[in-house]
Amino acid sequence: MITYLLYVLKFEKKVNLSQKKQLDNLSLKVDELKLETYEAKLNPHLFKNILNSIQSNAYQTYYTIDKLANVLDYILYESKSNFVTIKDEIDFIKNYIEINKVKVSPLFDLQIKTKIDEQSFLYNEKIIAPLISIDLIENAFKHTDFQKDNSFIKIAIELNNTFFYIQVTNKISQKNSLEKESGGHGNQSLEHRLKMIYGNQFSLSKTTEQNVFIAKLKINLNEFYTKMHPNR
Question: What is this structure's pTM?
Answer: 0.71
199 phi, psi to nearest 5 deg = 60, -120
Residue 144 has φ and ψ, to the nearest 5°, of: -80, 135
Strands, E assignment, 5-125: 84-85, 109-116
Residue 131 CA to residue 133 CA, distance in Å, equals 6
Burial of 173 (0-12, 13-18, 19+ CB in 10 A): middle
Q: How far apart are CA 163 and CA 224, in angstroms?
A: 10
Q: In this structure, are residues 53 and 103 in contact, taking their beta carbons and an 8 Å threshold?
A: yes
Tens-place pLDDT, residues 117-169: 999 999 999 999 988 888 899 889 888 888 788 889 999 999 998 999 999 99
- Which residue(s) pair with 10 in the sheet? none
154 - beta bridge partners?
Answer: 111, 169
What does R_g of the chain's alpha carbons equal in angstroms? 20
Q: Looking at this protein, which amino acid is placed at residue 10?
A: K
pLDDT in tens, 4-60: 445 545 555 555 666 667 666 666 666 555 434 334 455 555 566 666 666 555 556
φ and ψ of 170, to 5 deg: -145, 150
